[in-house]
Amino acid sequence: MNDHAPSPTSRRVVMGFGDAANLPEDDELPTESMPLNMGPSHPAMHGTVRMVLEVEGEKVRTVDVQIGFLHRCFEKEAENATWTQIFPYTDRLNYVSPMLCNVGYALAVEKLLDIDDKIPERAQFIRVIVGEISRITDHLTCLAASAMELAAFTVFFYLMKAREWLWELLEEVSGARLTHSYVRIGGVVADLTDDFCPKLRDILGRCRAAIADVDKMLTSNRIFRDRMDGIGIITRDDAIGWGLTGPVGRSAGLAYDVRKDHPYLVYDRFDFDVPVGSVGDNFDRYAVRLEEMRQSMRILEQAMDRLPAGPILLDDARVALPPKREVYNTIESMIAHFKLIMDGIVVPPGEIYSFTEGGNGELGFYIVSDGTGRPWKCRVRPPCFANTAVLNKILPGLFIADIVPTFGMINMIGGECDR
């Protein structure tokens, strides 16, 4: 820049290349930054988020990421619902991996009730199985959507088809593709279907093929690498200071996975690896997710091999509904059913922070109970709330076009971020 750069208010109009080429050397076209609004109604701002950018040319100077468009008052509703009635709300938190939210919440309440070590083993295995299926669908969705936004349409269709196979299977088990409400305090609501395991093995085989195809299409694809390598770098210190967990945190080099570091359910019995990145850019996040899907499939195969027989719900009428045959034919079970539904499970007063590995990272439930059938406070610690916040740091300095893959790889799920 020369000493007397023209002020923004003084402009010169230049017509055509010829004129521009003839500009005196010490003259510069004045520039000023421009506010640009991206979203909330924007194809790449999936999950509904608004980014108010200040751009200079194509470069982003500052960004203000505005969320809250999908806020549906989860906490307020939870304060007015019984413990079991909250399960459908948890489905709608991270709606691409709803089983993981169901399980996370159930574990928190079970700890407060001091029955977490009494959950039947089969129920624990089933929770792991459906949880890992949900994790795979979460990563499939993330990669599919992000790839599509980079114009890799084929990848989108391959992964969506794979996701659909998994969701169809979960629909057979729970009755819904997405909003399962499958888990209950004390276990799960219904057993797996008879042909679940053979079907799942078949689907996993086809999923592996789809993921292998996607790997071939993207991982060494010049265009994909150009758009993803070195973009949106998050350092390990960033991850610690901003509370980034899950694939975003692990890609930055922070080797923290709740399943390994603080095992819950029966995760400590399975053999699986946790991929950790080194650079912390978009490509690392993509690679970590891809590999995590393969590791989830490993867990699924081991879980299916060792799935024990047994009950799927704790046999305690203070916590779990008695069998319908008893409810309709004896007054005792009728009363138990009645009290559980109308008053809710009586959870002793106390508070707990319980955490599991959600699709995006450490999914925490901070629950405060006042001794009645509904929570005093039921807070979700959403992993992608922290993950999305870091965009305020990493987007400035990137081009507008880089926002798309960066945002995609952060995998902000609106339902979880805004609740």
Partner 1 sequence: MAGEKQAASGPRAKVKIVIDGRPHEFPAGLTILEACQRVGIKVPFFCWHPGLSAPAVCRQCLVEIRGFPKPIPSCYTPVADKMEVITNSPKVLDVRRQMLEFTLLNHPIDCPICDKAGECLLQKHYFDWDVRLARNDGSKVRKAKVVDLGRHIVLDQERCILCTRCIRVCNEVARQPDLVMAFRGDRQLLTTAPGQRLDNPYSLNTVDVCPVGALTAKDFRFSMRAWELWATPSVCPGCATGCNIEIHAAHDVIRRLIPRPNPAVNKYWMCDEGRLTYKRVHQDRLVAPLVAGAPARWAAALAEVARLMAWARDKSPSSLGVVLSAQTSNEDLFAFSRLASEHLRTDRVYLAGAREGWCDEILVSADKNPNTTGAKLIGGPTVRTAADLKQDLKIGVLKALLVLGEADAVSPLDSLQTLVVLASHQGPLVTAASVALPLAMWAETDGTFTNRQGKVQRLHAAIAPAGQSRPGWEIAARLARAMGAAWTYANAKQVFSEARDKVMLMSGADWGRPESPVQLRFANSRG
Partner 2 sequence: MAKIVLDRLAEQFVAGEITETGSQHGNEWARVNPAHWRGVAQFLRDDPVTALNMFIDLTCVDRLGRTPRFDVVLHLYSVDKKHRVRLLAGLPEDDPSVDSVVGLWPGANWFEREAFDLYGVRFLDHPDLRRILMYPEFVGHPLRKDFPKEGRQPLLRRFPGSVDEEPAP
Please tell me whether residue 153 binds partner 1 under the rule CB under 8 A: no
Measuring CA to CA, which residue among 28, 33, 41, 35 is closest to residue 1? 28
The binder of partner 2 chosen from 89, 156, 167, 256 (CB under 8 A): 256
Tokens describing residue 260: 């390994």
CA–CA dist 104, 116 (Å, integer): 12
Handedness of CA 134, 136, 138, 144 (dihedral sign): negative
Phi, psi of 304 (to 5 degrees): -65, -35
Count residues near partner 1 (CB under 8 A).
23
| Shortest CB 109 distance to partner 1, Å | 16
The region of 174-182, 186-194, 217-225, 348-356 touching partner 2 under the rule CB under 8 A is 348-356
Binding mask 323-362 for partner 1 (x = CB under 8 A): ---x-xxxxxxxxx-xx--xxx------------------
Partner touching 254 among partner 1, partner 2, none, CB below 5 to 8 Å by kind: partner 2
Q: Indicate the residue among 154 and 372 with the shorter CB distance to partner 1.
A: 372
Classify 47 in phi/psi space as left (phi over 0), alpha (psi -120 to 50) or beta.
left
Residues 264/268/269/271 CA torsion (nearest 10 deg)? 130
Q: x/- contact string, 160-179, with partner 1 (CB under 8 A)?
A: --------------------
Written as six digits, the tokens of 372 are 């009645």
Member of 308, 351, 371, 397 binding partner 2 (CB under 8 A): 351
| Residue 256 to residues 127, 237, 275, Cα–Cα distance (Å) | 21, 13, 10
What is the Cα–Cα distance from 45 to 29, expressed in whole angstroms?
Answer: 33
Measured at the CA of 58, the angle between CA 55 and CA 59, to 5 degrees, comes to: 60
Select 109 or 169, whichever has its Cβ closest to partner 2. 109
- Choose between 224 and 385: whose C-beta lies nearer to partner 2: 385
Minimal distance in Å, beta carbon 241 to partner 2? 5
- Among 212, 323, 353, 371, interactor with partner 2 by CB under 8 A: 353
What single letter denotes the amino acid at residue 214?
A: V
Selected from 227, 374, 381, 419, the binder of partner 1 by CB under 8 A is 374
Asked whether position 265 contacts partner 2 by CB under 8 A, the answer is: no
Cβ distance to partner 2 smaller for residue 139 or 419:
419
- Residues found in the chain: 419
Binding footprint of partner 1 on the chain (CB under 8 A): 316-318, 322, 326, 328-336, 338-339, 342-344, 371-374
